[in-house]
Structure 1
Amino acid sequence: MFRVLTFAAALLAAVPAAGQGTSVAFGGMRQDSSLPVEISADNLEVDQSEGTALYTGSVVIGQGEMRLSAPRVLVVYGEGAGRIQRLEATGGVTLVSGDEAAEAERADYDIDAGTVEMTGSVLLTQGENALTSERMVVDLDSGRAQMAGRVRTVLQPQDAEGGGPQ
């Protein structure tokens, strides 16, 4: 279970991201591994023969201000001593910290590759600003992200004092 929590904490980590030619700062999310990680769900099903743990029903993974929610989260273990290989969140995934959020139909976290791939109607919001695409891949080691599949950006103008939208 500790490995599931460690994995969830890593998934919740957000880093500055850059897409093809467009810089996207998703900097409000920071991993603080000293904070406790909590996972809640309506159901948990463990299949030792398949090496999986399936959380279903209003799954919420939280650490500090960060929250990942999805109807279904599958944890897949690799060879040897319960090492987590990947996590698959499906059914509509939301990752939130402060006024920043990312939504998609699916999120896959590959532990060995150190990547999170969000697919299906991806929406990244920062306050009043938004980016959409069909796919976003975040490299957690380099802090780079790439959005693909008809990327659309909506930026709200700032007032003269740098306050909010006009």
Structure 2
Amino acid sequence: MTRPPLASLLAPALLGLSLTALTTPPAQALEGDASAPIEVEANQLDLDDRAGTAIYTGDVDIRQGSMHLTGDRVEIRRNASGELSHAIATGERAYIEQQPAPDEPLVRGWGRTIVYYVAERRVELIDRAELHQGGDTFDGGYLEYFLDRRVVQARSEAEGVQERQRVRMTLQPEQ
């Protein structure tokens, strides 16, 4: 069995991890993000073609165009058909950001765990979760963002997290 090029495993993951749809439909993302080179830095990579996983560890930094994902560990999983099913970034403060359009503010998200479910186009920010867009912020133990519908669901508790983290939201008035 030949191993697929690393870029073929990463490309759909990074395109899917893009937070483009947090503020605009995917077609309005920064032009060139999807065709930009994928740059990955980590201390270690464990690639398992049979299991459909690529696990990066040690100060992981992934960039493609305006998208940036960091964590102590990033795991990318494929389903039985070889398609990306989800990506999980973990760390004391895993981080994801995207510039949705040249005239829109940067969207940033943090959590001890960030999970992106490709088929559902859904992002989970878990434990000390924060989502920032311009001056608007959402904080809590668990934030779930449905990319296409632009729906945020926030909870003070997350599964497996010991401490309650009250939900807080700050919205800036329209100018």
Give the TM-score normalised by the residue count of structure 2: 0.70
2:122 aligned residue:
115
Within 5 Å, which residues of 2 pair with 1:1-166? Answer: 1=6, 2-16=8-22, 26=23, 30=29, 32-80=33-81, 82-91=82-91, 92-97=93-98, 99-127=106-134, 129-149=136-156, 150-154=166-170
CA distance in 2, matches of 1:109, 1:157: 30
CA distance in 2, matches of 1:138, 1:4: 22
Aligned-pair distance for 1:156? Answer: 6.7
Contact preservation (8 Å) 1:9, 1:37:
no
CA distance in 2, matches of 1:130, 1:141: 19
Mean Cα displacement is larger for which, 41-50 or 29-38? 29-38
Select the structure that is richer in strand: 1
Deviations 1:132-157 (A, max 9, x none): 11111122233333222232124578
Question: CA-atom RMSD, angstroms?
Answer: 2.6
Equivalent pairs, count = 148
Residues 90 and 132 of structure 1: is their aligned pair in 2 closer, same or farther, counting only changes over 3 Å? Answer: same
Aligned-pair distance for 1:89? Answer: 0.9
Contact preservation (8 Å) 2:13, 2:76:
no
Residues 157 and 86 of structure 1: is their aligned pair in 2 closer, same or farther, counting only changes over 3 Å? Answer: closer
Residues 50 and 97 of structure 1: is their aligned pair in 2 closer, same or farther, counting only changes over 3 Å? Answer: closer
Gaps of 5+ in 1: 17-25
Give the TM-score normalised by the residue count of structure 1: 0.74
Mean Cα displacement is larger for which, 96-105 or 148-157? 148-157
SS in structure 1 at match of 2:16: helix
Contact preservation (8 Å) 2:130, 2:143:
no
